[in-house]
Amino acid sequence: MRRIYSLLLIIMLFMVSCDLDRLPETTFSDSAFWKTETDLRGANTRLYNQLGGYSHDTRSDELVRVSQDGISSGNWTVPSTSGSWSNPYKAIFTANNIIGKAVNAELSEAIINRWLAEAYFFRAYFYFDLVKKYGDVPLILKAIDDTNDELLYSARTPREEVIQQCYDDLDFAADWLPEIDELTGADWGRVSRSAAQALKVRVGLYEGTFSKYHNLGSNYQSHLQEAVSAAEAIITEDKHSLYPDFQNLFLFDGEGRQNKENIFVKVYGPNGEGTVTHNNSRQMENTVSVTRQMVDMFLYSDGLPMGKTTMRVSPETSFDDVFENRDPRLSMTVYKLGEEAYKGPYVPFENQHGYGYSLKKGFLVSEWETNSRETIDKMLIRYAEVLISYAEALYELNGSISDAQLDLTVNALRERVGFDARLTNAFVTGNNLSMLDEIRRERGIELLDEGFRYNDIIRWKIAEDVLPKAIIGAKYVESETSKARVDIDNRLTDANGMLDGEQAYDQVDMYVIEKAGDRNFDPQRDYLYPVPLNEISLSGGAVIQNPEWE
């Protein structure tokens, strides 16, 4: 950690923000900075630059790449260094530097606190990221200006203490950040009171369920209550609502404050100029596809899952049979035969990655054509997440949820896409379903490819059941593709759904992307990331390794 902080000290002394051009870098110093509101705004801008943007998470059973993911397959080892540890700490150092020095500005308390609030928000954001991966982590709350500072050799702080600090930081942020409607013009994309509250929902739900299912003590209820209270505050304040068009939500139509589902976004662009860019559409074409496991999560028109419904087309004789009588979000998320897609009409098993179901959600041909200079903003927190998190937190906390609360949350998401099947307590009881499973299902469907699935199966402690299974891809129908059977026959299930003696699926000619025997998850080890070896060494042994990674 010592190298990380000494490096960031140099960066912060000479490059507080990429949008500042007040002085030549060779003459920039703290004595000439931290004076004006422009200085504080500029310092915080660096935190936005350190935010992650578009990515496609293949750590779970949700998405796959051509090459096997080391985490989801269990084939990972202890690294010497890792950005999963160092990058959040870089951002935390930036936040600490702002928190420690902004108070010296000759400005009113209200102005100083407004910009401190941004730093507190991001400190919580990045500490939560660390806790999800590593559990206990060193909690450092002040800037380090001396490479001999003993804080560089801090031991790991219990996760409960780190999370409580996150709550404190977010409470301060919520008190002093502007309302989202005040963020206009160049301020759009900066964090608001809503963002602080919504992040608290995310933190409380994660930590409450993780504590509950990993038996970390009886305090899980307090975390769930934090989530519930924060969600209710957002709902009551009525600053947000669901965007009416799910398909266009993830395109240019969904940008800006006119889309009241936006709570926290990473801004790219300006649109058409490509100043700050990404390559999301190119990644969707060349990098990842959706697994059959996730396709199977989508409900049928009668509101029942695949194992309960009589509406399933079986046996399947076409690639498109899977779309029949389904939740409309399925055809809004993955491509059907013949739809205009990456390079013309969609054809299964052609120009694909892993031979799964190709992603449609968020793809735009005009952006693909810019060749990795895409500018659609990335929603990092949206109102739909708050609603489905609220439903889950309520049920986990109380063991029940009312039909009115279901209408406000789960059924609102369904109504948005024209899915008429309502989730009610009577429906669950009458069809021998699990309310918790149905709420979790709704979460997986609504938030597919938004970076939640892996963290969800970790906090629910079901990864040892979910991950060590065959990963299934698309249905192969020879007449619907130019891909010759002989080229992939060794990966297709037989008439009994078997492949190499393993029961992979219940249909013939399903492409098996990864065999169950090639996947592993060790519940004694893999629920936490391994701490990079250099962090242990550079802390003088104060930082210790996670269990079973020694």
pLDDT given for residue 309 in this prediction:
98
The alpha carbon of residue 482 and the mean position of all alpha carbons in its chain are separated, in whole angstroms, by: 35
pLDDT given for residue 5 in this prediction:
38
Report the pLDDT averaged over residues 129-136.
Answer: 98
Report the pLDDT averaged over residues 305-334.
Answer: 97
pLDDT given for residue 20 in this prediction:
29
Mean pLDDT across the chain, nearest whole number? 92
Contact by Cβ (8 Å): 277, 265: no
Whether 22 shows a pLDDT value over 70: the answer reads no
| Strand runs labelled E in 383-486 | 471-475
How far apart CA 244 and CA 368 sit, in angstroms, is 25
If pLDDT is split at 50, 70 and 90, which confidence band does 66 have?
Answer: confident
Whether 8 shows a pLDDT value over 60: the answer reads no
pLDDT given for residue 353 in this prediction:
67
**In sequence order, what are the residues at sequence separation of 6 or more whose Cβ sits closer than 8 angstroms to the Cβ of residue 399?**
none
How far apart CA 230 and CA 193 sit, in angstroms, is 11
Query: What is the CB neighbour count within 10 angstroms for residue 273?
Result: 10
Report the pLDDT averaged over residues 401-417.
Answer: 98
Whether 9 shows a pLDDT value over 80: the answer reads no
Angle, to 10 degrees, between the axis of helix 109-134 and the axis of helix 159-176?
150
* Phi (first) and psi of residue 93, to 5 degrees: -65, -40
140-182 residue pLDDT tens: 999 987 777 888 899 999 999 999 999 999 999 999 999 999 9
**Residue 444: enclosing H or E segment and its boundaries?**
helix 435-446
Give me the domains of the chain, ranges plus CATH numbers.
1-51+77-155+527-550 (1.25.40.890)
How far apart CA 503 and CA 491 sit, in angstroms, is 13
pLDDT given for residue 12 in this prediction:
42
Report the pLDDT averaged over residues 455-468.
Answer: 98
pLDDT given for residue 274 in this prediction:
74
* Phi (first) and psi of residue 30, to 5 degrees: -60, -35
Report the pLDDT averaged over residues 337-363.
Answer: 89
266-278 residue pLDDT tens: 999 998 887 899 9
How far apart CA 254 and CA 542 sit, in angstroms, is 47
pLDDT given for residue 13 in this prediction:
39
Return the DSSP state at 225.
Answer: H
Report the pLDDT averaged over residues 192-203.
Answer: 98
% residues pLDDT > 70 (the chain): 94
If pLDDT is split at 50, 70 and 90, which confidence band does 28 have?
Answer: very low
Whether 3 shows a pLDDT value over 90: the answer reads no
427-460 residue pLDDT tens: 999 999 999 999 999 999 999 999 999 999 999 9
Question: How many residues are there in the chain?
Answer: 550
Contact by Cβ (8 Å): 297, 445: yes
CA quadruple 64, 66, 71, 72: dihedral sign: positive
Does the N-terminal peptide bond of residue 305 adopt cis geometry, omega within 30 degrees of 0? no
% residues pLDDT > 90 (the chain): 85
pLDDT given for residue 352 in this prediction:
64
Amino acid letter, residue 436: L
**Residue 289: enclosing H or E segment and its boundaries?**
strand 288-290
Structure-model confidence comparison of residues 20 and 6, the more confident one: 6
Report H helices in 369-434. 383-398, 403-408, 410-416, 425-430
* Phi (first) and psi of residue 67, to 5 degrees: -90, 140
Pick from 459, 428, 324, 439: nearest CA to 392: 439
pLDDT given for residue 6 in this prediction:
37
